[in-house]
Every structure is written in structure tokens, then in C-alpha cells.
């Protein structure tokens, strides 16, 4: 039961009463109740550092939840990404916490719920990123929940004496908290949409395939991330490299005895040597009987009598030039251009694409340089191909496919990875949104895209036709990409995506 006193508001959860605050949503001025830093699991310290999440301790009185809770231990984004992607750090041990924005903290409201899982290569990011502010969703009748989860070696390091995929287990624990508590904040636990971008979308794909997450959400959104697991040796190598630097055994017990700051210094060193984009060791999800029993993409697409995701509507898509965030800021795109024909050849080796794929791209993009061709091949392999496969194999519940095509105002970034976030959250006015998007962002495009996400959460339909394999995705913004036969082999052959704005 919620109780309000001026700008303060209290809600009773299963572990104790939390005290939030009413705040005015920036564009409309409407009052939104906001609760930040609510613990959904015990602090992962001491013996719990590499353990599965445990329930939080109950508390007496009112726990103040007016400021973001501690973020998960992580290393900062390296230059130049620190100038493009905001990643605030809030110190403290109680990092398994979440935030709630709600327009009506009353059990009778029964509003749709959206649960946001942030990206950051499973090594960075948090729910405190200003672009992820949930007030605009609450303004439009949605209860928005965002959460922190363990990252890097703490969340995804593979040890013989600790459960794998601890970050994913954290996410499941947060969804269980939503199931048990969100009605007290005005949400409907039967209408939960889980959504994420990049590593957050990879997490959503794993949640779709995780038996322990069954029944915790009814809809799912995957933005620029596809269901995947990494070979165990790739993940284990990261732990072994850290163990070598720390001069300790590659076990959770040994790592738990290392000071956290020393652990993060070693993690930063091994991350510099990892090459997730072009292969090599990385932190990531692995198959495990207790969390992700099989490759999630196979589990979600291979025909079977009870495929896990068939009853869950999906909204999924990508940006037109995902690769530019990965390749342009570091100068890698220019290096690939200097390599000439060798660049797409190397990309073919990385992606398994044939020469016909390169020829199709050259036909569609006659002015594209070698770096752009290589980048599009990599984007196809990592994102478009698996997401299209997921959409193509929908059997019961529909899938809705989109492409984000508006180009950033930051020179060279184009319609890059993560650019759509400020539009989805309708937070273009947040100063940090301009780090990646630049100036003069079109509010009309944010209005359209944000409304589609709200509609999907409320009704299961974002406002356009479900994917049937023969038509184009819904494109938000421009310029619109042209795709050749390698893009789509449907009955109509190559198609041009529908243009929406501007």
C-alpha cells in the first residue's frame, strides 16, 4: 500500500517499506513517483562475491530510496569511448539494486511494466546512466524498472568452484522481485516486458531460453543484441590471464580473497588484450544446466514440441551502421580502408560470409569503402543474421522487426550502435544523450519510437505489421539503407525498408 506525504511517497515491499519521491517529468510536468536503489538481493561481498544472488535482509522503518544505489564494480570506458558513452560510478557494496518509476503507486492501477537491462559488453554500464531515466515511460502509463547486475569477472568469470552466469542469475533475481513486489508500485506482474540493448539484449535472449526465467515476463525487446553463448575456453582464458597477473589460482576462492580494486586493475589489463569484435577471449554467457542449458539461439529457433519463446511476442532490431561505434572512434575504420580489398576479405574470414555477400554489398553501396564493407559484414554476422533468424522462426506469438537509420550529429558516427537509446527513452534533452547523438536531434523521431515501445508494452503490438519474412523492417529515421539479396531472400527478393521519419 502506498502512502504519500507531499513530495514523499512510501511503498511496502516484501522486505520492508521504501521511501521515494514525487518528481516532475521534464516535458509534461506530470508527477511521477521515483524509487532509486531498492535492494533486490544481498550485497555480493565476502563469501557471496562469486555466489548466486541471495535474498536481501529485511529492514525496519522506512528505507530511503531517493538516490541511485551503488553500481556494480567495473572499470571505466577507455578513451575515446569515455567521451561518447556516459557510465557513472556510485561507490558501495550493495550493488544488486533496482529503480522504479511509476505514475500511480497503487495496487489498483495494474499498469504495464517494462524492465530495462543495460548494455556495456557485460563489463560496464549501470542503471544510473542518465539516458536511461524512466520518467517518460511513467509519464505515458508504464511502470519502468531498471536494474544493476554483476559485471566482468564478478558476473561472468568462469570458475570451477562457482556458478557460471552470475550476472544472469542476478537478472532473474531482479525479475523475481518484480513478480513479488511490482503490484505495490502500480504494476501488473502479468504484463512485464523485459528489454535491453547490446549486452542487455544478449541477456534478454538468454532469459528467453532460461527455464528459471519462465513466467517472469510476457514480452521481450532485443535492441542490437542477439541470443548467444561463448565457448567456455574463451571465457576461462580471461580468468586464467587475470590469475597470472594476480599470482593466485584461477578459482573463485582465490579471487574472493583479492582486494576488489586490485581485482579490477587486473580485469582492466586483460580487457585491453581481449578482442570481442574480431574474436578471442572475452567475458560472456556460457551454457550451464543451472541457467542456460543450451545455446539460446538454437533453443529459440530450432523446431520442437515446446519451444520456450513461442508464446512471447518479440520486438527486435538494429541500427543501420552498428559497426561505426566499434570501428570509427578508434581509427580502425580508417585502417581498414587503407587495407583495401584485404579488409572485407578479413571480415569474411571472421564472419564466414562468401564473396557473393561482398558483391551484394558493393552493388547496394557502390561508394562504400573497404572498412564500411567489412563493418557491414560483421554487423550481419553478429546482429542482423541471428535476429532475422529469430524473427523468421516465430510460430505462435508475433515478432516485430525495426531498423534505426537516423545518423548521429557526431562526425563519422552515422547510425551507430547504441544511438537509438535516447530516442527509445525519450531522453534527448539529457546532456549525456548528446555525447553520442550530437546536437539538433529530432524530437519527432523520439516521439514516434518511444510511443512504439510503450504500445508494445501495453498491447504486445508496436504499431506495424508482424514480421513474416517477406517484407521490410520498420525503419525509424533516415537515410534508409538499401539491401541486396544477401540481406533478404524472401519471395519478393531484395526490398527497401519502409521510411518513417523524417
The count of other CB atoms within 10 Å of the CB of residue 438 is: 15
SS3 state of residue 432: coil
219-223/474-476 β-pairing:
unpaired
Buried b (16+ CB within 10 A) or exposed e, 427-436: bbebebbbbb
Inter-residue contact 71 to 95 (CB < 8 Å):
yes
Q: Which residue has the cell 555525447?
A: 435
First to last CA, the chain: 45
Annotate 132-171 with DSSP letters as a single string.
G--HHHHHTT-EEEEE----HHHHH---TTS-S-HHHHHH
Q: Is 450 a catalytic residue?
A: no
Cα–Cα distance for residue pair 123/155, rounded to 1 Å: 8
322 given a catalytic annotation:
yes
Q: Is 24 helix (H, G, I), strand (E, B) or coil?
A: strand
* Phi and psi torsions of 288, nearest 5°: -160, 130
| 342-351 vs 370-379: helix crossing angle, rounded to 10 | 10
Q: Is 417 a catalytic residue?
A: yes
Q: Which of 408, 417, 420, 432 is catalytic?
A: 417
Q: Residue 131, CB half-sphere, CA atoms under 13 Å: how many?
A: 25
What backbone phi and psi angles, to 5 degrees, belong to 34? Answer: -125, 130
Handedness of CA 423, 496, 455, 120 (dihedral sign): negative
Of 25, 197, 321, 322, the catalytic one is 322
219 SS3 class: strand
DSSP reduced 3-state for 359:
helix
Residue 36 has what DSSP assignment? E
Q: Which of 264, 262, 245, 233 is nearest to 154 (CA)?
A: 264
User: Distance (Å, rounded) from C-alpha 14 to C-alpha 35?
Assistant: 15
Task: Note whether 146 and 99 are within 8 A (CB).
Answer: yes
Catalytic: which of 136, 198, 203, 224?
198
Active site residues: 198, 322, 417
Amino acid at each position: 500500500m502506498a502512502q504519500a506525504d507531499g513530495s514523499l511517497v512510501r511503498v511496502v515491499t516484501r522486505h520492508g517499506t521504501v521511501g521515494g519521491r514525487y518528481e516532475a517529468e521534464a516535458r509534461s510536468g506530470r508527477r511521477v513517483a521515483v524509487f532509486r536503489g531498492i535492494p533486490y538481493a544481498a550485497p555480493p561481498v565476502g563469501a557471496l562475491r562469486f555466489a548466486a544472488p541471495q535474498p536481501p535482509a529485511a529492514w525496519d522503518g522506512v528505507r530511503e530510496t531517493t538516490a541511485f544505489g551503488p553500481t556494480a564494480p567495473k572499470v571505466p570506458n577507455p578513451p575515446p569511448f569515455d567521451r561518447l558513452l556516459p557510465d557513472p560510478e556510485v561507490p558501495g557494496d550493495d550493488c544488486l539494486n533496482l529503480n522504479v518509476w511509476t505514475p500511480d503507486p497503487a495496487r489498483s492501477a495494474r499498469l504495464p511494466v517494462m524492465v530495462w537491462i543495460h548494455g556495456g559488453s557485460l563489463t560496464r554500464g549501470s542503471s544510473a546512466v542518465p539516458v536511461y531515466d524512466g520518467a517518460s515511460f511513467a509519464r505515458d502509463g508504464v511502470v519502468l524498472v531498471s536494474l544493476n547486475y554483476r559485471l566482468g569477472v564478478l558476473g561472468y568469470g568462469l570458475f570451477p568452484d562457482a556458478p557460471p552466469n552470475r550476472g544472469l542469475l542476478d537478472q532473474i533475481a531482479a525479475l523475481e522481485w518484480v513478480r513479488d513486489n511490482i503490484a505495490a508500485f502500480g504494476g501488473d506482474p502479468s504484463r512485464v516486458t523485459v528489454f535491453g540493448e547490446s549486452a542487455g539484449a544478449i541477456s534478454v535472449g538468454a532469459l528467453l531460453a532460461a527455464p528459471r526465467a519462465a513466467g517472469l515476463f510476457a514480452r521481450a525487446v532485443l535492441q542490437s543484441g542477439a541470443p548467444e553463448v561463448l565457448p567456455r575456453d574463451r571465457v576461462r582464458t580471461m580468468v586464467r590471464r587475470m590469475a597470472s597477473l594476480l599470482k593466485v589460482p584461477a578459482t573463485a576462492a582465490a579471487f574472493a580473497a583479492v582486494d576488489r580494486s586490485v581485482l579490477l586493475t587486473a580485469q582492466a589489463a586483460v580487457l585491453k588484450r581481449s578482442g570481442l569484435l574480431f574474436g578471442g577471449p572475452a567475458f560472456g554467457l556460457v551454457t550451464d544446466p543451472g541457467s542456460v542449458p543450451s545455446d539460446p539461439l538454437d533453443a529459440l529457433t530450432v523446431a520442437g514440441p515446446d519451444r520456450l519463446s513461442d508464446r512471447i511476442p518479440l520486438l527486435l532490431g538494429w541500427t543501420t551502421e552498428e559497426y561505426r561505434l566499434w570501428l570509427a572512434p578508434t581509427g580502425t575504420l580508417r585502417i581498414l580502408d587503407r587495407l583495401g580489398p584485404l579488409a572485407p576479405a578479413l571480415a569474411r574470414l571472421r564472419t564466414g560470409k562468401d564473396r557473393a555477400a561482398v558483391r551484394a554489398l558493393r552493388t547496394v553501396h557502390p561508394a562504400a569503402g573497404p572498412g564500411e564493407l567489412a563493418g557491414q559484414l560483421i554487423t550481419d554476422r553478429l546482429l542482423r543474421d541471428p535476429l532475422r533468424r529469430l524473427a523468421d522462426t516465430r510460430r505462435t506469438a508475433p515478432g516485430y522487426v525495426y531498423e534505426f537509420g537516423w545518423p548521429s550529429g557526431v562526425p563519422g558516427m552515422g547510425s551507430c550502435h547504441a544511438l537509438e537509446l535516447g530516442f527509445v527513452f525519450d531522453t534527448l534533452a539529457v546532456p549525456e544523450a548528446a555525447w553520442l547523438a550530437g546536437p539538433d536531434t529530432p524530437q519527432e523521431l523520439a516521439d514516434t519510437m518511444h510511443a512504439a515501445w510503450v504500445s508494445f508494452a501495453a498491447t504486445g503490438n508496436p504499431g506495424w505489421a508482424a514480421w513474416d519474412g517477406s517484407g521490410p523492417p520498420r525503419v525509424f529515421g533516415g537515410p534508409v539503407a538499401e539491401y541486396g539479396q544477401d540481406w533478404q531472400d524472401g519471395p519478393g527478393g531484395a526490398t527497401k525498408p519502409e521510411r518513417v521519419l523524417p
